[in-house]
Amino acid sequence: MPVNVRPAVASDHRFLAEMMYESMLPVVGRGMFDAALEGTGVDPITFHETLLLNEASNWGQIDSFFILEVEDGTPGGIMGAYFNNQPDLRPLTAEGFERVAAKLNWSKEVSQGFWRKYVSFFGFFGTAPQLQHPGEYILEFGAVRPDLRGRMLYRHMVKAHIERAKERGYKSVGSTGVEGNLVVERAMGRLGFEVRARFGPEHYRGMFPGMVRLVYDIPDAT
């Protein structure tokens, strides 16, 4: 299938938000913010859209994403990236949350309720071991539309990010999979990624099955 991979732009925000959420559903069937959003009146896709539009997504701003377009010109997939040298490696920092809560007009009580649930999973600080990644340039929120899966489209976005990382001087590209998602683990293995670390459910208070960290070392990186 002919495809085109291009950088995302601001007008892509709704599709990005939808696919960010879609990327979290395999294996666990829920998103990383679902529990914290309970009782807020905000659905996960609207929340992700707000993160993007307020530059509060710590795991990939709009301009970090690539959009995969299929033959008819419609968007078929996304993949973002962030860097592992950030002082806070959580998907949402305290500063970012202030902007999001203000945009959503949350009361102090709603904001505090969300933040309590959020830090119970991700920790009070952004340096917890399970947030660390052995790669430098980290892929995140990679997903292909459900009706287009099984056509080996994911690899086009991975290769676009590898090229971007190489151009920017990074020596390695990292990716993360949910423990048990063998489809992603095998697909990344075929692209040259190797498993470098695993974090089991004990790192997530038994609330999550765990994560697999994969790394691709860029050949001839300087």
Q: What is the pLDDT of residues 107-163, one digit of tens each?
A: 999 999 999 999 998 988 899 888 999 999 999 999 999 999 988 899 999 999 999
Handedness of CA 126, 201, 161, 73 (dihedral sign): negative
- Residue 191: which of 165, 154, 166 has the closest Cα? 154
Instruction: Write down the residue that tokens 């004990």 correspond to.
Output: 202
* pLDDT tens readout for residues 46-93: 999 999 999 999 999 999 999 999 999 999 999 999 999 999 999 999
